[in-house]
Amino acid sequence: MLDNKIETMDRKDLEELQLKKLQATVTRLYNGVTFYKNHMDAMGLKPEHIKSLKDVANLPFTTKEDFRDTYPYGLCSVPKSEVVRIQSSSGTTGKPIVSCYTKNDLDLWANSVARGLSGIGVTNDDTVQVAFGYGLFTGGLGLHDGAQKLGCTVIPTSSGNTRKQLMLMMDLKTTTLVCTPSYALIIAETAKELGIDLTQSSLKYGMFGAEPWSTNMRTDIENKLGIKAYNIYGLTEMQGPGVAVECTAKAGMHIWEDYFYPEIINPETGEVLPEGSVGELVLTNIAREAQPVLRYRTHDITSITYEKCACGRTHARIAQINGRSDDMIKVKGVKVFPSQIESILLTVPGVEPQYQIVVDRRDGFVCDNIEVRVEVGEAAFTDRMAGLVEIKNKLNAALQSALGIKVDIKLVEPHTISRFEGKSKRIVNRSELGE
């Protein structure tokens, strides 16, 4: 454990620490950021009204739109001279999200990633290949700084150029791979094409994130790469990866509660839900200097537990992200998340986790029907038509029984579904495909 005292802190002490940090943060934001002052004044709320952690529920939410409206520096609470780094998330529409960091913020960020790496067994003897994109995206530099802080040998390959990744991985004896889970699968595919058996390589650990993935996909990656694979969670708005990280117990991701205050809310009403309920994760920065964010609506669907973990850590754990409330689609009244479909597909033997959901969108997330495209790889292919029809029927039956609605399955040729080296895009509109 990197920081035994903090990571195993008694919950009562941890909550006292959180309250102090929260109060200081709210006071600073009220006095230094017009956006928060205006919101709190409109609600008749003063910093001194925050007397317990429960009072967080009275604070205003911050949304992605607020970041856009205040772009670029409207949420920054320190003089520009103290900002040493800018990161940004890939906005697909409108202005990007901008995140500012002081020197201490970068240190805190590196620390949260280093705690996570240490928690899965990585030490300064390990060689960490960071195949997340470098640049404005927080994945590359975030993991880089964290691994470096732990004293690891860091190979900053960034994403892409998979053959070169593999060459360096074999020659430099990489022990730890860091990237998106879908890129881990591309690496596995390419290794197979090149006749490289990764299960016999030096690889031991994988830390994957930036997109939701299922338990079945984890098993698939672990088998193909011969590693133990763990989850890392984060978002640019709050800092980047490292907000929450899985430990060897694989029983949820620890949110570093001395840095973040988590809540689970009902995404429709905004009401705070009790421990164990599934809802939208809302996060508050309580240790950040440049740009602390109050009650950020992550749109990520999960649940939270405060029970002490088998690993000894006391920090709360969130379950693997179930999907995003804005990735959710509603088909014939039924809520469907891509991650659900993925885990169902992988229960059918021979089916590869390369899939895409094609929707005929009617209005917002409401769809009339969905078509799931699945690539036919060697393991699923047979020379008998009956064999292929059987796979299609099995997929149909599995999806129908799990989701409760009929889904169209389409078997497609390998490599026809786009691969993503960054975040994968599982849902596409039929109109985007030009069909």
Partner 1 sequence: MKIKQISVFAENKPGRLMEILKVIEAEKINLSAISVAETDEFGIVRMVMNNTDAGAAALKAAGFTVRVDDLICATAPDVEGGLLNSIIKPLAAEGINIDYFYTYLDKAPGLAQIVIKCDDVDKAEKILA
Q: Copy the structure tokens of residue 166.
A: 């593999």
Determine the size of the site formed for partner 1 (CB under 8 A).
18
CB of 153 to partner 1, least distance (A): 35
Of positions 78, 272, 388, 405, contacts partner 1 by CB under 8 A: 388
Looking at beta carbons only, is 362 or 410 nearer to partner 1?
410
**Rounded Cα distance, 119 and 247, in Å:** 5
CB of 185 to partner 1, least distance (A): 16
Site string for partner 1, 28-47 (x = CB under 8 A): --------------------
Residue by residue, DSSP assigns 313-363 as --S-EEPPP-EETTT-EEETTEEE-HHHHHHHHTTSTT--S-EEEEEEEEE
Using rule CB under 8 A, residue 412 touches partner 1? yes
Using rule CB under 8 A, residue 414 touches partner 1? yes
Looking at beta carbons only, is 51 or 384 nearer to partner 1?
384
Residue located via tokens 């470098």: 134
CB of 411 to partner 1, least distance (A): 5
CB of 213 to partner 1, least distance (A): 24
CB of 423 to partner 1, least distance (A): 24
For 181-259, strand residue ranges (E) read 205-209, 228-235, 240-246, 253-255
Of positions 54, 192, 415, 430, contacts partner 1 by CB under 8 A: 415
Using rule CB under 8 A, residue 433 touches partner 1? no
Looking at beta carbons only, is 317 or 373 nearer to partner 1?
373
Give kind and range of the element (H or E) at residue 260: strand 260-265
Q: Copy the structure tokens of residue 32.
A: 């230094």
Among 241, 287, 304, 281, CA closest to 18:
287
**Rounded Cα distance, 240 and 237, in Å:** 7
Of positions 61, 163, 215, 381, contacts partner 1 by CB under 8 A: 381
Using rule CB under 8 A, residue 416 touches partner 1? yes
Looking at beta carbons only, is 78 or 412 nearer to partner 1?
412
Using rule CB under 8 A, residue 389 touches partner 1? yes
Using rule CB under 8 A, residue 384 touches partner 1? yes
Contacts of range 100-106, beta carbons closer than 8 Å, 24 or more positions apart: 100/73, 100/76, 100/290, 100/291, 101/239, 101/290, 101/291, 102/78, 102/289, 102/290, 104/289, 105/239, 105/288, 105/289, 105/290, 105/291, 106/145
What phi, psi does 290 have (nearest 5°)? -70, -45
Site string for partner 1, 331-360 (x = CB under 8 A): ------------------------------
Using rule CB under 8 A, residue 435 touches partner 1? no
Q: Copy the structure tokens of residue 425.
A: 């895009």
Site for partner 1, residues 359 to 378, rule: CB under 8 A = 376-378
Interstrand relation of 334-336 and 329-331 (parallel, antiparallel or unpaired): antiparallel
**Residues in contact with partner 1 by the rule CB under 8 A:** 376-378, 381-386, 388-389, 410-416
